[in-house]
Structure 1
Amino acid sequence: MRIFIVAVGSHGDVLPLLAIGSELSRRGHAVTLAAPAPFAAMAARAHLPFFALGSEEDYRTITAEPDLWRPWCGAAAMFRHVSSLIEPTYHWLAENVRPDDSVVLASTLSLGARVAQDKLGLDLATVHLMPMLVESRTDPPTLPGLQLPEDLPPRLRHWIGRGADRVIINPAALPPLNAFRTQIGLPPVHRLRHWWNSPQRVFLAFPEWYATPQPDWPSQALQVGFPLADRFGDVVDLDPAVYAFLEAGAPPLAFTYGSAMTRSQGFFRTALDLCVRLGRRGIFLAPQSGQVPDDLPPEVLHVPYAPFSRLLPRCAALIHHGGVGTVAQALAAGIPQLVVPVAFDHFDEARRVRRLGVGSSMSGRSFTPARGEREIQRLLTDPSVARAGSIAKARMIEEDGVGAACDAVEAFRALNS
């Protein structure tokens, strides 16, 4: 079987599909990955043919955009970039996919792949990596900038959330999408968050215990679990300096604000103050330059990247932005987590972390040394948090999200052959 994977986004969006592609390739399928240009080296290490969507400079430009990291402005900034990838994605698939022997696996923002499905009749499955991307009237996700009280009726929260479609998402995404659709003879899309679901199959890359299936989710949706993918990142094991640091003392607090964040200076200044106030060692993960204070004491180590599956089991807690992949890795390690959400799905993941009892959250404005100290100390000493972490870790051990996703892809092809 020939499988074409289209993954649009940052590390958290691309690496899970890269992991799935690698396993499908190991099973004997011919897999090609299309993703932003910076992921070419990671695809090469996984021995996957690669097609670059945009340039390295395009990727740096969008990740440096200040509006990308503001809850109400992030969608518009993101869709300006995503829209530029619609046409090249469409033409790449049109030139390479043979409908009689191929399957397309497309991430949520791979809009050009959905256009190709509509126009060319391709067999395509959408992959949603986070629950926020699935609408529901019975358990509506928390949208960025719309942290509505939980005691509001779900239908009212859903109706208010629909306003985000009308005011933010559709105006940002639909004009360029529909301009291209008109150009190739397709009717316009009216609601992006409905249309981006493949009518054939939707894979939900999170388990039922994390996001309970809802009666109004798409009937073609299938939950496959978290596809843990950190070993496909920039490095595959801990650096010797990290090993030496971990061996030299008590488990540290780990801090990260995401692989693409370029405005995390305040977060890491607070992180340093927290380590001092709590008398704890710390490890700061930030690949972008200029994010971490220069004057770190010996008790705090900065590394650009480390595979969480190797690092987090040896840490006391994780303080982070709330990306779903980061949440999943902390669940697998069984450690407490404090989420300081920024944009996108972060607010919804924070809600689910609280629901599970494995951690808590606070706004960026509330994340001060004094408040952070109190909350982290509580998370480290609360027996109920430790019990919830142990339960989550046991659940994660029982699952294989990558394998389940690959099984589902093979079944999807068999169903449509």
Structure 2
Amino acid sequence: MKVFLVAIGSHGDVLPFIALAAELKRRGRVVTLAAPAPFAAMAARAGLAFQALGTRKDFDCFAAEPDLWRPWRGVAVAFRFFSALTEPTYRWLAANWQPGEGIVIASTLSLGARVAQDKLGLPLVTVHVMPMLVESRHAPPALPGLPLPACLPPRVRHWIGRGADKYIIGPAALPALNSFRGTLSLPPVRRLRHWWNSPQRVLLTFADWYAPPQPDWPDQAVQVGFPLADHFGDVGELSPALSAFLDAGEPPLAFTYGSAMRRGRAFFETAVRTCARLGRRGLLLAPQSGQVPSELPPQILHVPYAPFSQLLPRCTALIHHGGVGTVAQALAAGIPQLVVPVAFDHFDEAQRLVRLGFGAALSRRHFTPARAAAEIRRLLGTPEILQACSAARTRMVGENGVPAACDAIDVVAA
């Protein structure tokens, strides 16, 4: 059986698909992954056939957009990028998929795959990697940049979210999508967050104890748990320099602001000053140049990337942007998290971590050395938080959503 996987986004969106593709290939499937061009090397290391969507320059220009990292404006920037890949995705599937010969697995914003399902009738599984992508009147997700009082009833927060569909998401996404659908004689999409769910199967790759299932989730949705896929990233092992640093002293504080972030300089400058205030060692993870101060004290090390499954168990806490893949790796390591959300699902993940007792959150404006140091002291000095993190680590031992997701895919294919 042929399996076509389409993933659009950054590391947190694409790495789970590389892991799915590798497991499906191990099971004897003929697998091809389509993703933005910068992920070609990772796909090659996993032994996967790869189709580049766009160019590396396209992706770099997208990630460098200043408005991408603003809670509401980022929606328009993101959908301009996704929309540009809708037609190439559709054309690739139309040229390669044959009836009865394969199945398509697509990330939420791989809109071309969903168009191909409507036009060609191909079997499609939609994969939502974060809880924010699933609507619910009972447990609506936190919206980026719109802090709502906890006392608001869920139905009111859901109603406000529907307003975001009408006034923000729809205007950003639907004109280009419906224009392309018109060329295929397909009717227009009215509401993206309803249409993007495949009617056949939706996979939710996050744990049910992290985001409990809701009665109004789609009937075709199956929750499979977190896909821990960090070993498919830029490197698979800790570098000798990083291993030596970890061996040389107490476990450090780890800081990252995501793989695509181009405007994290202030975050990492605050990280250095926070470590000095606390008298602790620090590790700065930033793959992009110009993010980290050029002169670092000896107790601070900068590395572009490290596999979190090997690194985080040797750290004392993780301070980060709030991406769901990073959240899952810290839960598996059993360490507290301090989230400084930027955009997209970061605010929702931060809220869940705080509610479940795994960490804390600070806004970017409040992320100062004094406040960050105070929060980190509180996290590391609160037995209930440390116990909750330890329990999460125990719960995630042996838990990996990749095999469960592939089992669900096999059911659809059959």
> Shorter-chain TM-score category?
over 0.9
RMSD: 0.6
Q: Which residue of 1 aligns with 2:371?
A: 371
Task: Output aligned runs, 1:2-401, within 5 Å.
Answer: 2-401=2-401
Q: Secondary structure at the match of 1:3?
A: strand
User: Which residue type is aligned with residue 26 of structure 2?
Assistant: R
User: How far off its partner does 1:98 sit?
Assistant: 1.3
Taking the aligned partners of 1:149 and 1:264, their CA distance within structure 2 comes to: 29
Q: Secondary structure at the match of 1:24?
A: helix
Q: Secondary structure at the match of 2:270?
A: helix
Taking the aligned partners of 2:146 and 2:2, their CA distance within structure 1 comes to: 41
Taking the aligned partners of 1:84 and 1:400, their CA distance within structure 2 comes to: 33
Verify the 8 A CA contact 1:8 1:35 in the aligned structure 2.
yes
TM-score normalised over the length of structure 2: 0.99
1:305-334 CA-to-partner distances (Å, cap 9, x unmatched) read: 000001000000000000000000000000
Q: Secondary structure at the match of 2:246?
A: helix
Taking the aligned partners of 1:143 and 1:2, their CA distance within structure 2 comes to: 37
Q: Secondary structure at the match of 1:227?
A: coil
Taking the aligned partners of 1:255 and 1:351, their CA distance within structure 2 comes to: 19
1:24-58 CA-to-partner distances (Å, cap 9, x unmatched) read: 10111001000000000111111110000000000
1:217-263 CA-to-partner distances (Å, cap 9, x unmatched) read: 11100001001110000000000000000000000000000000000
Taking the aligned partners of 1:202 and 1:285, their CA distance within structure 2 comes to: 33
Taking the aligned partners of 1:99 and 1:176, their CA distance within structure 2 comes to: 28
Verify the 8 A CA contact 1:105 1:127 in the aligned structure 2.
yes
Verify the 8 A CA contact 1:253 1:281 in the aligned structure 2.
yes
User: How far off its partner does 1:120 sit?
Assistant: 0.1
User: How far off its partner does 1:381 sit?
Assistant: 1.1
**Which shows bigger deviation, 145-154 or 285-294?**
145-154
Taking the aligned partners of 1:85 and 1:99, their CA distance within structure 2 comes to: 23
User: How far off its partner does 1:398 sit?
Assistant: 3.8
User: How far off its partner does 1:400 sit?
Assistant: 2.0
Q: Which runs of 5+ in 1 are unaligned?
A: none
Taking the aligned partners of 2:76 and 2:275, their CA distance within structure 1 comes to: 36
User: How far off its partner does 1:129 sit?
Assistant: 0.2
1:346-386 CA-to-partner distances (Å, cap 9, x unmatched) read: 00000111121010101000111111111000101110011
**Which shows bigger deviation, 306-315 or 142-151?**
142-151
Taking the aligned partners of 1:148 and 1:214, their CA distance within structure 2 comes to: 20
Taking the aligned partners of 2:120 and 2:358, their CA distance within structure 1 comes to: 45
Verify the 8 A CA contact 1:99 1:123 in the aligned structure 2.
no
Taking the aligned partners of 1:208 and 1:224, their CA distance within structure 2 comes to: 8
1:250-286 CA-to-partner distances (Å, cap 9, x unmatched) read: 0000000000000001100100000000000000000
Taking the aligned partners of 1:21 and 1:150, their CA distance within structure 2 comes to: 40
User: Which residue type is aligned with residue 82 of structure 1?
Assistant: F
Verify the 8 A CA contact 1:165 1:191 in the aligned structure 2.
yes
User: Which residue type is aligned with residue 296 of structure 1?
Assistant: L
Q: Secondary structure at the match of 2:28?
A: coil
TM-score normalised over the length of structure 1: 0.99
User: Which residue type is aligned with residue 288 of structure 1?
Assistant: Q
Taking the aligned partners of 1:125 and 1:22, their CA distance within structure 2 comes to: 17
User: How far off its partner does 1:394 sit?
Assistant: 1.0
Taking the aligned partners of 2:182 and 2:112, their CA distance within structure 1 comes to: 13
1:96-118 CA-to-partner distances (Å, cap 9, x unmatched) read: 01120211000001000000000
1:117-153 CA-to-partner distances (Å, cap 9, x unmatched) read: 0000000000000000000100000110122111100
Q: Which residue of 1 aligns with 2:406?
A: 406
User: Which residue type is aligned with residue 364 of structure 2?
Assistant: G
1:192-216 CA-to-partner distances (Å, cap 9, x unmatched) read: 0000000110000001001000011
